Structure 1
Amino acid sequence: AWEGRLPKSRTYAPLPGFLPPAAPARRPPPLSSRLMSVAALNAVAGAFKPLDADAKVKVKTQIEFYFSDSNLPRDKFLRETVEADPDGFVDIALLVSFSRVRTLLVAFGGPQNDETVADVTALLETSETLTVSDDKKRIRRSTELRPRDEVDAEIELRSVYASPFPMTATIDELTTFFAAHTKVLSIRLRRHITSKDFKGSIFVELEDGAGCAELLGKVKELEYEGAALTLMMKKDYLEKKKTERVEKAASNAVAVAAAEEAAAAAAAAAALQREMGGGDDDAAVEAAEATEGAAEEEGANVEAEEAAEEPGSSFTEGLILKFALGDGTEEGVRREDVTGALGDCGVIKFTDFKMGDTTGCIRFEDAEAVKKIIDAHGADSGAALEVGGKPLALSVMEGEEEAAYWKALAARAGGGAGAGGR
C-alpha cells in the first residue's frame, strides 16, 4: 500500500518514450497520474517476458535519471524518500510503480510481476551510477548528492535556452529534435507561473560545455516546424532578462516617485488638519496610506514579474508574515503602528493593511527575518508584541494560502491578463 508515499510529478526526461509528466500546478495532480490506483496495485500480474534490448535501455536510463543531479535536487518526494533512509536507499518496488517506468514494463509482465521486478533489479546492478542493496530490494545513488546550489551552477554552465516552439510541442518531440544534433541530458519546458501553460521556450541541458558550443554553432541552420530558432546560453538568457527587469523597474520610477510625492502631500495635509483641529483625520490618513500603498504595490508588481521569470520554484516560501489585531484593540491602528512595533526586524517589501482592517500581512525580503520574528514574538514565545494596547497575533503564511497570494500578485503584475499575466 503506497497511498501515503505518493511520488510527485517530474519535470524532466532524459530520452523520448519515457517522459515524466508535465510540471504540475501548485495543487497536486490526481492520484492516478502520480502512482498506480489501488485497483492497479491489486491487479493480477501479467505474463512475464524478459525485457528486450530497447526496454532495458529505456528503463535503466529512466531510473538513473530519477537519481541524477538533473532531477533529484528538484524532486521533493524522491529526495525526501532518499533522506528518510539512513543509507539513502529507495524501494525498487516503489520506483517501478512510477508512471513512466510502469508504462515501459506493461508488455513484460508489469510492476506487479515479481519476475519482472527481478529482471529490473538485475538490470540496475549493471548501472555505474546506482547501487543495489544486498537484499536486492532497494537502490541508491552511488555518489552522495552535492549541495543544490553547486549542482545548479554546474547545470547552468551546460544548459542552453531555445525558442520559439509551438504550444503543442512535447518533451518527446523536442528531445528527439535536439538529440539529432548533440547529446541531451534533459529538456525543461518553461511555463507561466500561474496557468502553467507552456511559454514556447525551453532549457536544454547538455552533457558539457562542448555540447553547448556545438549546438550554438548550428544556430543559423536550426529550424523547428519552419521557425528559425533563437539559441543562447542559459546564463546569458537569465542575465538578459535580469537587465530587462532592471530597465523596466527604472521606467516605473516616475510613477513610484509620483505616488510617494502624493503620499507626502497627503501626510502633510493630515498634519495641518490636526494642528488646526478641523477636517477629517481618518480620511486624510487613509488617503496617505492609499498613495503609500500604490508606491509599494508598484514595487510588488516588479517583484512578481521577476518571480514569474525565475527558472526554479515559482516563489520563495516563508517571506510573508500574517498578523491579527487583538480583540479590543484601539481604533485607528495604521500600518506604521504595526511595522513600528516590529522594530528593526528586516527589510520590509510590502505591507498589506489599511486603517480599519483587523488583519493583514507583511512581505519581507528574507524568510529568515520572518522566522526570527515568530521565534521572538510568536504564540509560543510568551513575548507577544502589543499594538493598540492589545497583543498582536503573528503567524507565517504557508501552503495553499501562500501559493494563492503569489498567484494573485503575479496576476496583478501582468494586469490580470491570461497566462500568468505575461
Structure 2
Amino acid sequence: MPDPYNAPDNLNNANDVNNAKIDTQTSQDTTTVPEYHKQSNANKTLKKIIIAFIVIIVLGFIGYGLIISNEHSAPNTVTFQGQMQMQQTSIAAKVPGRIAQILVTEGDKVEVGQQLIEMDSPEINAKIAQARAGKDMAQSQLDKAENGARPQEIAQAKAAWQANKAASDLAQNTYQRVDRLYEEGLMARQKRDEAYAQYLATQDQTEAARLQYDLALEGARSEDKSAATAQVAQVDAKLDEALVAKQEANLKSPINGIVDDVIVSAGEVIGQGVPILTLVNTDDQWVVLNVTENYLNQFAVGQHFTGTIPALSSTDKPYNKEFTVYATSTLSDFATWRPTNNNDGFDVRTFEIKARPSNPDSRIRSGMSVIVQIDPAAVIQAQE
C-alpha cells in the first residue's frame, strides 16, 4: 500500500513529471514555429521574383513590338543597282583578204580616220590593174573620136575630091560642046546622051568625094563620141571601185574612242563582213536601271539623280556621279509582278531607265555597277 504520508511527495513527483512533459512540448513548439515562418517568407520571395520576371518579359515584348512598329513606320532607303554602258562599234571587213598587220592593241586611243588594220588582197590588186588597162583603151578610143582623122587622111580626101571635081568639070564642058553639035545637026543623039550620062556620073563621084573630105574634117559622129565617153566613164567607175576596195581593206577608225577587243591575229584569212575588232566611244556613256512603276516618278525624263560607282570608289571616298534621265521604256511581261488575289493590289510593271552622266569620265568602263539610293518618303510625298 502506498504510504499516505508520502503521497504529497508522489504528487509532487507527478507534477514534476507533467511539468517536464509540458516544458518538453513547449520547447518543441517553440522550435517548430520559426521553421514555418521561414518557409512562408521564402515562398513569398519566390512569388515576388516570378512576378517580377513575368513583368520584365511582358515589358520586353512590348518594347520589341514598339521597335518593330517604328522600324516599319520609319522610311527605309531603297537601293537600285544599274550598269554602265557605252557605244560600241564593231569593225568588220568589207572585202575578203589576209591580215597583213594589226596596227593597234587593246586599250589604245584612236581617232577618226586612223588606220587600224592593213590587209593583203591580191585579188583587189589584180582588179585595179585590169581597170587601169581598160581605162587606157577606152581613153584612146575617145581621143580618136575627138581628134578625128589624121592630117594625111584629110589631105588624101581633099585630093580625091578635087580630082573628081576636075573630071566633073571636064565632063560638063564635053557635054555642052556635044549638045551644041547635036543642035546643029553635026552630032548624033547617041553621042549627046553618052556625054550627058558621063557628066552626071562625074558629078555624083565629085559629091561623094566632097562628103568624104567633109567627114575627115569633122571627125567622128556625136553618137560615137558619146559612146566613147560613156565607155571611159564606165571603166573609171570600175577603177574607183577597185581603189575603194583596197582602201576599205586597210581598215580605218570611224569614231574617236578606245580599242576594246581585238578579235583576229596577223596572218589570218577573213571573209567579207567578219568582225575584226571592237571600239568603244568613252564620250557616249549611259546607265541602265530597272525600276518598278511605284518609284518611276523619281526617274522621269529630265530629272537628275546621284549614283555611286563602286569600281572607282575608295574606302574613305565614294565616287559619286550625277545622271540625267533621257529615256524610259517598259520591259516585257516577264518583268511584271502579278498579284495572287484581289487584296494584293494591281500589277506592278518594271521600266528600264536610261540616264547620261553630266560629265563623262574616261575611266568609266562598260559593265561597271552604279548604286542609286532614294528615300521612299520623297516618293510618298510626290504621290500625294
Q: How does the TM-score come out when normalised to structure 1?
A: 0.16
Question: Higher helix proportion, which one?
Answer: 2
- Between the two structures, name the one with larger relative contact order (CA 8 Å, sep ≥ 6): 2
Question: Higher strand proportion, which one?
Answer: 2
Q: How does the TM-score come out when normalised to structure 2?
A: 0.17
Kindly name which structure, 1 or 2, has the bigger radius of gyration based on alpha carbons: 2
